[in-house]
Amino acid sequence: MTTIDAPREAAVSAAPVPAKRGRGHAGEKAGVGTYIVLTLTAALFLFPFYFSLVAGSHPPADLYDGSPPLLPGPGLFKNMGLALAQADLFQALGRSLVVALVVTAATVFFCTMAGFAFAKLKFRGRNALFGITLATLTIPPTLGIVPLYVVMSKLGLVNNLASVILPAAVTAFGVFFMRQFLTQALPDELVEAAEVDGASLTRTLFEIVFPIARPGMAVLGILSFMASWNDFLWPFIVVRNTPTIQVAVASIQAGYTPDISVILAGTVIATVPLIIVTAVFGKQIVNGITAGAVKG
């Protein structure tokens, strides 16, 4: 057994054993009322997207009638084609994908390291630095737009995707989230055992911390991807010549008489990737939050 295997064995032995389902609330079946409430809640959240889909498939005249249409029409793909042609949404989708993936990877990596430092490492000024980090959450993001733009201009990054990626590479929320997750999920004994066995901090991070933090990292990654994809204000200011998808969709309505159907068809195109990400990885959010909430 190598020195680093000792903390791994300790992690296995310290892992909580799943409890058997008893006759309590966890074993009860949901009633009809529960399904009704869940169905109404899902319908409430899905209605804006559904209405965008319906409105994007009808001509604008139908939307201004006394009774707006409630069923999809035949013109959705035509309006999508117009939106793609007017705003070059394909390139905007590619830019947003690059930005979202890079921001997600950077946020998860750096916030996990910072969260581990605040949760398990002892150093002078730890609580003060963490307090300052939390205090930044109370500052409205709009207050930092002007100085941030000046910095990006001095660096020559205006109209460059790096100006969108760098400010979002580390977030105070991500540091706070991973700190809370690792405080619950990572036993102190594992870190101490790795230190006693002579494992470096880098090895401890990659072989102990990151595997244990994987559920929390998945949650933070999904939330970061969605936030980066939906970001509009800062990209609108700093990358006007190379717009992301949200800025490109907004440019469709730049005329005197905007075509609402084409705009909403473009909105549907911009929303589809988020629906795919949520459908594929949505379960990770529940698993990650549950894993962080239960202390082993």
* Dihedral pair phi/psi, residue 161, rounded to 5°: -60, -20
The segment with the largest mean pLDDT, out of 60-69, 191-200, 283-292, is 191-200
Confidence of residue 10 (pLDDT cuts 50, 70, 90): very low
Q: Percent helix, strand and coil across the chain, each rounded to 5?
A: 75, 0, 25
Written as one letter, the residue type at 225 is F
Q: How confident is the model at residue 4 (pLDDT cuts 50, 70, 90)?
A: very low
Residue 32 pLDDT: 84
**DSSP string computed for 50-86:** HHHHHHTTS-HHHHTSSS---S--TTHHHHHHHHHHH
CA geometry: angle 50, 53, 54, nearest 5 deg:
90
249 neighbors 183 (Cβ within 8 angstroms): no
Write down the pTM of the prediction: 0.79
3-state secondary structure of 35: helix
Task: Say what the pLDDT of residue 33 is.
Answer: 85
pLDDT in tens, 20-39: 444 445 556 778 888 999 99
Cα 260 from Cα 267, distance rounded (Å): 10
Tens digits of per-residue pLDDT, 49-104? 898 888 888 887 777 777 778 888 888 888 888 888 888 888 999 999 999 999 99
The helix-helix angle for 260-293 and 172-185 (nearest 10°) equals: 30
Q: What does the alpha-carbon distance between residue 285 and residue 278 come to, in Å, rounded to a whole number?
A: 9
* Percent of the chain residues past pLDDT 90, beyond the cut: 42
Token pair for 108: 């998860």
- For the segment 222-239, the average pLDDT, to the nearest whole number, is 92
CB atoms under 10 Å from CB of 59, counted, come to: 15
Sign of CA dihedral 105, 106, 110, 111: negative
Q: Are 182 and 209 in contact (CB under 8 A)?
A: yes
Q: How far is CA 125 from CA 122, 130, 132, 184, 245, in A?
A: 9, 8, 11, 22, 41
> What pLDDT does 253 receive?
66
